[in-house]
């Protein structure tokens, strides 16, 4: 689910940036890591996951039936916030281009802050909804994030991406990760 969601974001940003910047490049956005060992700029916009956070909701009891005095527990979905670092990794000579790209990313996500079926018909079936919000990060925390990533600062923004649901019966089907294998067939 996380990989599918971030790849969908990559696809949408690629489309938006190729139209906005009037470039010939269709693959300007990459789902990757910032690589401190590679000193050359990628000349790309990079999306990197930097944090996963469980959204706390009021406790909902897990219910089920078991045999021989045991109670089976049905899986409830878990809702997550993903924190993604989106940076424009361009050479010093192309610094103005990096600023243009990161500005376009911010503008696109400001104007399209929620992806749902009615406004994103091409969204993968596994995703119900994605909400994007700029995360305000202080200088000290930003320095820590770039230190954790292991790279030097580049023009970037951090977004909180919410409401991802994993497991349980979220879309009418249980996630294969939460379904136990059938004891005789081994199939989920």
pLDDT digits (tens, 9 = 90+) for 43-66: 899 999 999 999 886 555 555 555
Pairwise CA distance, residues 152 & 135, whole Å: 20
Q: Tell whether 63 is covered by a domain.
A: no
Predicted local distance difference test score (pLDDT) of residue 185: 43
Pairwise CA distance, residues 69 & 71, whole Å: 7
Count the domains in the chain. Answer: 1
What would the mean pLDDT of 132-152 be, rounded to a whole number? 92
Cβ–Cβ < 8 Å for 40, 55: no
Q: Tell whether 13 is covered by a domain.
A: yes
Q: Tell whether 187 is covered by a domain.
A: no
Asked if residue 173 has pLDDT above 90, the reply is no
pTM above 0.85, yes or no: no
What would the mean pLDDT of 134-156 be, rounded to a whole number? 92
Q: Tell whether 65 is covered by a domain.
A: no
Domain that holds residue 25: 2-56+76-166
Predicted local distance difference test score (pLDDT) of residue 33: 85
Q: Tell whether 44 is covered by a domain.
A: yes
Cβ–Cβ < 8 Å for 175, 168: yes
pLDDT digits (tens, 9 = 90+) for 17-39: 988 876 656 678 888 888 766 66
Count CB atoms within 10 A of the CB of residue 30: 16
Judging by beta carbons within 10 Å of its beta carbon (0-12, 13-18, 19+), is residue 72 exposed, middle or buried? exposed
Q: Tell whether 30 is covered by a domain.
A: yes
Q: Which residue has the higher pLDDT, 62 or 183?
A: 62
CATH for 140: 3.30.2000
With helix as H, strand as E and coil as C, how does 8-22 read? HHHHHHHHHHHHHCC
- 30 to each of 47, 72, 137, how far by Cα in Å? 6, 42, 23
Asked if residue 68 has pLDDT above 80, the reply is no
What would the mean pLDDT of 94-113 be, rounded to a whole number? 95
- Helix, strand, or coil here: 110? helix
Q: Tell whether 37 is covered by a domain.
A: yes
Pairwise CA distance, residues 84 & 130, whole Å: 13
Q: Work out the pLDDT band at 159, boundaries 50, 70, 90.
A: very high
Q: Tell whether 41 is covered by a domain.
A: yes
């Amino acid at each position: 689910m996380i990989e599918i969601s971030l790849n969908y974001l990559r696809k949408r940003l690629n489309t938006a940036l190729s139209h906005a910047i009037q470039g010939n490049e269709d693959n300007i956005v990459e789902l990757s890591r910032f690589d401190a060992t590679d000193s050359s700029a990628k000349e790309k916009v990079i999306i990197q996951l930097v944090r996963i956070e469980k959204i706390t909701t009021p406790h909902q009891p897990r219910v089920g039936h078991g045999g021989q005095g045991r109670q089976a527990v049905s899986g409830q979905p878990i809702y997550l916030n993903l924190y993604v670092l989106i940076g424009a990794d361009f050479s010093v000579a192309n610094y103005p281009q990096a600023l243009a790209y990161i500005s376009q990313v911010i503008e696109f996500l400001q104007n399209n802050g929620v992806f749902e079926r009615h406004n994103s018909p091409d969204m993968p079936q596994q995703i119900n909804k994605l909400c994007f919000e700029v995360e305000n990060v202080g200088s000290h925390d930003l320095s820590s994030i770039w230190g954790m990533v292991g790279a030097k600062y580049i023009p970037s923004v951090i977004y909180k991406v919410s409401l991802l649901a994993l497991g349980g019966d979220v879309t009418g089907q249980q996630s294969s990760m939460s379904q136990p294998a059938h004891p005789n067939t081994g199939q989920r």
